[in-house]
Structure 1
Amino acid sequence: MSRICTLGRLRALLGALLAVALVPGAARAIDINSADYLPAPAGTNLLLFYSQYATRSEYVSTSGVSVAQDTSLDSYVNILRYVHYFDIAGVRMAAQALLPAGTLYNGRLGGADLDSAAGAGDPIFSGVVWLVNNKASESYVALAPYLFVPLGQYDASQALNMGENRWKLDLQGAWYQGLGNGFALQLSGDVIWYGSNTDAGGGNQTLTQDNTYQFQAWLSYAFAPTWSAAAGYSRFWGGTEYLSGVATGNATERDQLRLELSKFITPTFQVLALAQRDFNTSGGFPEDFRGTLRLMQVF
């Protein structure tokens, strides 16, 4: 009986959980690739397309309750991203926009069907400023706020949603340092603030959430003129959720390992592949695997 009650409570809270945790860059801070904070020359434009697939087979609450039997959740998300670099008073800056869309499917929690969701996610708008831009020493320090606008698909009566129905602000700081002989290190930190979702819990409750924090580290190696490989680590913490003031058991606590490989097919077109896996998760669905294919056109 206690297991049935626990599963019922978890299922009732999925509307609060899944709208926040599954669209890349949603409840989490903005994930970055290994050279994202290596600035391009002023006047450069980037058009990027991300295709991401992720699979999950377990839910772990903040209290340690783990539900693995008959539990699954898959997602397929595409993101279109545009970046423009420019200078103001000799300071390198960039403006960018990200437009996600996709589907959540194969959703089950302890045998309970969660149906599916499809549509646009919340668009993201950002500006980047490089506080340090030293090409000679390959040293770069940047600051970037990301604003999430609640325009994505959201239905309070559904357990799965692509949008969050709330405003969100992520402030990200990063340091990129060339180490010589083709090696480079990139470190970043995020803090993300959440607005309230006043249409949660079936439409008559308010979802609030503590700040989420993230640390990301990448070590990359350009082993050939057009090839680069990288290994990365990410740590998320915080993000405890509350539904009408009561903790839901959901949060954003997890570690993640990453491997990346990229190649410039032409001087202006790059293909990048990324594999990720979560571990030490508390308060969510750990990703058994997330694979990303990124296409980038420079113009």
Structure 2
Amino acid sequence: MKDFASYRQDLIVGMSLQVSAPLGQYDNSKLLNLGNDRWSFKPELGISKAWGPWTFEVAPSVTIFSDNTDFFGGNIFAQAPIYAVQAHILYTFQSGVWMALDGIYFTGGHTTLNGVKGDNEQRNTRGRFQPRAADRPP
């Protein structure tokens, strides 16, 4: 416990890979399905650096999709990668109370049907401010 209480973060770097398999109910005769009948892969890099009471975090990622070669009536549905970056700035007071400013930006993901590109690229930005008390879980 004393080691945990005295821990001071410096630089942390991590990686993750999220994989979604084409599981679930899928029927190519229906336009709407619970399953996608395609794979997706999302590698993400996370970097967190602390300077005194300040902590800065950034996490870029890309989601890559395989093609659905049996989409609604035998068509081929494809989706371009979605690129994203999350960032967090945290300040921790000596009492343990902390506050954070979070943001995310993502873009990409336009679809094609049988090679014809759709005009549906995604792009969004979100931000939020969140204060937290030391005795409450995040």
Partner of 1:236: 106
* Counterpart among 10, 14, 20 of residue 148 in structure 1: 20
SS at match of 1:254: strand
Distance 1:185 1:229 in 2: 12
Please list, as runs of the form range in 1=range in 2, the aligned pairs for 1:88-237 lying within 5 A after superposition: 138-156=10-28, 157-159=30-32, 161-181=33-53, 183-200=54-71, 202-223=72-93, 224-225=95-96, 227-237=97-107
Q: Does the aligned pair in 1 maintain the 2:47–2:59 contact within 8 Å?
A: yes
SS at match of 1:145: strand
Please list, as runs of the form range in 1=range in 2, the aligned pairs for 1:205-284 lying within 5 A after superposition: 205-223=75-93, 224-225=95-96, 227-263=97-133, 265=135, 270=137, 272=138
Distance 1:264 1:207 in 2: 48
Partner of 1:132: none
CA pair 153-254 structure 1, distance change in 2 beyond 3 A: farther
Q: Name the larger-Rg structure.
A: 2
Distance 2:38 2:112 in 1: 14
CA pair 155-138 structure 1, distance change in 2 beyond 3 A: farther
Q: Cα distance, 1:146 vs. partner?
A: 1.4
Q: Cα distance, 1:251 vs. partner?
A: 2.4
Whichever residue aligns with residue 254 of structure 1, its letter is: N
Q: TM-score, normalised by structure 2?
A: 0.77
Distance 1:142 1:206 in 2: 35
Q: Cα distance, 1:144 vs. partner?
A: 1.4
CA pair 137-222 structure 1, distance change in 2 beyond 3 A: closer
Q: Cα distance, 1:192 vs. partner?
A: 2.0
Q: Does the aligned pair in 1 maintain the 2:101–2:130 contact within 8 Å?
A: yes
Whichever residue aligns with residue 189 of structure 1, its letter is: P
Distance 1:213 1:193 in 2: 9
Distance 2:26 2:131 in 1: 35
Q: Cα distance, 1:210 vs. partner?
A: 1.7
Unaligned runs of 5+ in 2: none
Q: Between the two proteins, what is the percent identity of the paired residues?
A: 24
Q: Cα distance, 1:189 vs. partner?
A: 0.7
Q: Does the aligned pair in 1 maintain the 2:98–2:134 contact within 8 Å?
A: no
Distance 1:166 1:250 in 2: 19
Whichever residue aligns with residue 17 of structure 2, its letter is: P
Distance 1:263 1:257 in 2: 20
CA pair 249-265 structure 1, distance change in 2 beyond 3 A: same
Distance 2:9 2:67 in 1: 44
Distance 1:162 1:259 in 2: 34
Superposed CA RMSD in Å reads: 2.5
CA pair 163-186 structure 1, distance change in 2 beyond 3 A: farther
| Higher RCO structure, 1 or 2 (CA under 8 Å, sep 6+) | 1
